[in-house]
Chains A and B, each alone.
Chain A
Amino acid sequence: AQKITQTQPGMFVQEKEAVTLDCTYDTSDQSYGLFWYKQPSSGEMIFLIYQGSYDEQNATEGRYSLNFQKARKSANLVISASQLGDSAMYFCAMREVLMDSSYKLIFGSGTRLLVRP
């Protein structure tokens, strides 16, 4: 069974500094996808970044980048130049293909990030 592990329940970072949120995964599939979502205190789930298992380059989206290390089965999220608005819960998720070729997301337990002014 596929599994996502986020070992950091909470983290602090100083404003304007970079921070890395850890995510490790377990799968026997050769083709898979990894996602990061942000959940602010308002509760909505906001898609941040996606990495496919066959993508040769690490994904980047603005201040977000994904440090993908396939051999270690890790997909850490790096946020550069942290802003106060980055304070939120962050979830790592993996795509699990269902029998009819649709997919569901398997979520980790999340990391709460607090940005200090």
Chain B
Amino acid sequence: NAGVTQTPKFRILKIGQSMTLQCAQDMNHNYMYWYRQDPGMGLKLIYYSVGAGITDKGEVPNGYNVSRSTTEDFPLRLELAAPSQTSVYFCASSYSFGGIQETQYFGPGTRLLVL
């Protein structure tokens, strides 16, 4: 049981390049989230998904896109990378049923540097 996995662990991008951050979970969680953590700060929600085919924006969605074609995978796409997107990106998942919302479990993070 791997929990939440993220790839890559670290990436350097040039301004204007694009990339996809991968996230997968094997806990059969229906909810998945993407957060970013800027230096010295807490995490902020970028996008989330309540199930396959359903996604919605969080606090800071600009410059990102997501898709959720399967329960297990929730990739985050960066188009036209900008220095302001330099951050650590965390994927999380949780299980929710009948109004009961369980704890969010986080992946190890992807450190992104945009130069």
Contact = CB atoms under 8 A, between A and B. Distances in A.
Q: What's the interface size class on B, roughly?
A: 20 to 34
Interface string B25-38: 00000010101000
Interface in A78-117: 91, 93, 95, 98, 100-110
Contact of B45 (A42, A100, A104): A104
A44 B107 CA distance: 7
A12 interface: no
B80 interface: no
Q: What's the interface size class on A, roughly?
A: 20 to 34
A3 B103 CA distance: 19
Main secondary structure of the interface of A (DSSP, over half): strand
Contacts of A68: none
Given A43-B109, A44-B106, A44-B107, 9 more contacts: A37-B106, A45-B109, A47-B105, A101-B101, A103-B101, A104-B48, A104-B58, A106-B42, A107-B43
